Amino acid sequence: MVLSSYQNLLDMCSEDAFDFQQPLRSLPCVVTSHGIISDPDLESSNDGNSVGSAPPCLKRKVVVANSLPLNCIKDEATGEWSFAVDDNQLLIQLKDGFPIDSEVIYVGSLNVQVDPSEQDQISQKLFKEHKCIPTFLPADLQQRFYHSFCKQKLWPLFHYMLPVFHDKGELFDRSLFQAYVRANKIFADKVMEAVNSDEDCVWVHDYHLMLVPTFLRKKLHRIKVGFFLHSPFPSSEIYRTLPVRDEILKSLLNADLIGFQTFDYARHFLSCCSRLLGLNYESKRGHIGIEYFGRTVCLKILAAGVHVGRLESMLKLPATISKVQEIENIYRGKLVILGVDDMDIFKGISLKLLGLELLLERTPKLRGKIVLVQIVNPARSIGKDVEEAKNEVISVAQRINDKYGSTNYKPVVLIDYSIPFYEKIAFYAASDCCIVNAVRDGMNLIPYEYTICRQGNEEIDKLRGSDKSSLHTSTLIVSEFVGCSPSLSGAFRVNPWSVEDVADALYNVADLTQYEKIQRHDKHYRYVKSHDVAYWARSFDLDLDRACKEQYSQRCWTTGFGLNFRVIALSPGFRKLSPEHFASSYKKANKRLIFLDYDGTLVPQSSLDKAPSNMKSIPDAKATVITNRKFLQNSIAIDDVKTTSITNH
């Protein structure tokens, strides 16, 4: 049922009628000449804009995320755009986990404004050269969708920050959600340009695009959709404060598989589905399934990983090696603690600095001996809160340096500007410890990158000459509120809100024996190496495939009888049934015959007539199982059919 207030919103939005839940009574499917189920609307809309068919042997994987994994620069003198794939991005790296016969297509925004006159040409170029399909959001929509709704509303809430109710500026502004709806529809429309058949899979990423599954399902019932949430999913007590909580949950449930970084996030999601939507779930063969309108939506817990090969090859670069040497020379004899964070209010950077300040206050012997190198990546959002957090970091760092520093020694080295990736790699390789002190973070891959880089290589070993003390060692201090924490059993786990905890952990790191450093490193290294980005992607892809197979290829079919009609409710695999089978059903009926698609949509006569004659008959198709009686009864509220009695055969 669509909430009436929500319906108003959609009317204002002037988008198609939009229902967040199944069954979606949209356009009927047809059997095309090659036996593929598709949407007539889609077929015609593809005529002009299609991005081309995948060669027959390739299966398309359409990866959709807010940003395309590209760097783009406009030459102001010539007006020419240049685009380069960013190999350091997770989205590019995940394709290593896909089967070799996959064609990976990316859909997302470029994060720059492109003049409408240039958009077509750029789209063609990006598809041809990089298999990327850009979404172009008008500047105002981009602002409202990304900066105002995603970054100011969803991002804080998903990181456990409740709006401040006495501040009017914090009240929920429905027009911003409307922008979110519109933007998600634009992304979904672009995805549909890339989908060729029901063999293709769509993998939607992160909290920016939580309505995409519904827009896709509405277009193509049998579309295979996976969704992965990179950010945390908060406790239901936090989530339920979101005024559009049901719409978002229902939309996510239009995916076939929903992935989470940790067990806790999945647990919170399940609590929300049960408390807010009254849905049941069960664990089947190691998977959690939620029954939703005749479909089973699978849940998966699988933390993202890093691209080990990429990090190893970056580590080998001569520029990296000489940077490692430079850093080691600068900080020789000191314990180097490294922090790498985005400038964001949830990264707990000031709390980390306060921990260091307390350590130096309590432990005079460490003054002059310990350095925190804090790399701060530029902020991605533009809120006042981020500016304040940044100013606070700068002023606390300054205070510590004034108090405990000297001409030759600064306890805090703040790098608050972009540095090339190889330099970051060099800092990892040269640091004794890495600290992640976020008060909330979906996963955080920094400890994984650090661990791989600390494994080093021959060139780095040579640099260290006879001083082997830092070879193949690493130490981690990790907040208990970040997703990677459970996987790092050898890390010092801290409550980031406790300055004492952080100070103690820093002290313990300074006190570790060489043996312990090796042991902790080894444990983490083995885990990170085996759970890399390809493992994550492969595992998600296989589970999506499995979830869809179970969903869409059941061979059972269901039949219902009424006084003057007969209902054939078709199972997802119905198109595998032979035309003869249909014919015999017609004959037996002797009455009005109604065919319903598996999700309750009326199947038109014309579609059945088109069933290709070369389709194979399935002898065991006589099994008649009504899997969800209530669902079927609800679905039959069409035309003049008011009541029915359903018989199992």
Ligand X SMILES: O=P(O)(O)OC[C@H]1O[C@H](O[C@H]2O[C@H](CO)[C@@H](O)[C@H](O)[C@H]2O)[C@H](O)[C@@H](O)[C@@H]1O
Judged by the rule CB under 6 A, the positions of this chain that interact with ligand X are: 66, 90, 150-151, 230-231, 304, 342, 380, 441-445
| Least distance in angstroms from the C-beta of 228 to ligand X | 8
Nearer to ligand X, 69 or 442 (CB): 442
Q: CA separation (Å) from 350 to 163, 392, 550, 556?
A: 22, 7, 49, 60
In the three-class reduction of DSSP (H, G, I as helix; E, B as strand; rest coil), residue 59 is classed as strand
| Least distance in angstroms from the C-beta of 380 to ligand X | 4
| Least distance in angstroms from the C-beta of 647 to ligand X | 50
Which residues pair with residue 549 across a beta bridge? Answer: none
Q: CA separation (Å) from 575 to 57, 102, 210, 623?
A: 22, 25, 31, 15
CA atoms of 301 and 262, how far apart (whole Å): 6
Nearer to ligand X, 377 or 457 (CB): 377
Nearer to ligand X, 427 or 595 (CB): 427
Q: What are phi and psi of 58, to 5 degrees?
A: -95, 140
Asked if 104 and 93 touch (Cβ cutoff 8 Å), the reply is: no
DSSP 235: -
CA atoms of 325 and 319, how far apart (whole Å): 10
Nearer to ligand X, 426 or 445 (CB): 445
| Least distance in angstroms from the C-beta of 88 to ligand X | 10
Which residues pair with residue 225 across a beta bridge? Answer: 202
| Least distance in angstroms from the C-beta of 159 to ligand X | 9
Residue 93 has which token pair? 């790296």
Q: Give the β-pairing of 287-292 and 295-301.
A: antiparallel
CA atoms of 201 and 226, how far apart (whole Å): 8
Nearest in space to 625 (alpha carbons), one of 646, 644, 649, 600: 649
Asked if 301 and 267 touch (Cβ cutoff 8 Å), the reply is: no
Asked if 234 and 158 touch (Cβ cutoff 8 Å), the reply is: yes
| Least distance in angstroms from the C-beta of 431 to ligand X | 19
| Least distance in angstroms from the C-beta of 66 to ligand X | 6
CA atoms of 375 and 481, how far apart (whole Å): 20
Which residues pair with residue 27 across a beta bridge? Answer: none
**H/E segment holding residue 540:** helix 533-552
Nearer to ligand X, 130 or 153 (CB): 153
Nearer to ligand X, 9 or 157 (CB): 157
Nearest in space to 481 (alpha carbons), one of 514, 526, 515, 439: 439
Nearer to ligand X, 156 or 456 (CB): 156
| Least distance in angstroms from the C-beta of 379 to ligand X | 9
Nearer to ligand X, 508 or 539 (CB): 539
Nearer to ligand X, 231 or 350 (CB): 231
Distance of CA 181 to the CA centre of its chain: 18
CA atoms of 361 and 14, how far apart (whole Å): 61
| Least distance in angstroms from the C-beta of 214 to ligand X | 21
Nearer to ligand X, 324 or 436 (CB): 436
| Least distance in angstroms from the C-beta of 345 to ligand X | 12
Contacts of 19 (CB under 8 A, 6+ apart): 2, 214, 218
Asked if 644 and 567 touch (Cβ cutoff 8 Å), the reply is: yes
Contacts of 134 (CB under 8 A, 6+ apart): 68, 107, 108, 109, 110, 114, 119, 122, 123, 126, 190
Nearer to ligand X, 208 or 566 (CB): 208
| Least distance in angstroms from the C-beta of 344 to ligand X | 7
Q: What angle do CA 505, 507, 511 make, to 5 degrees?
A: 115
Nearer to ligand X, 473 or 487 (CB): 487
| Least distance in angstroms from the C-beta of 487 to ligand X | 12
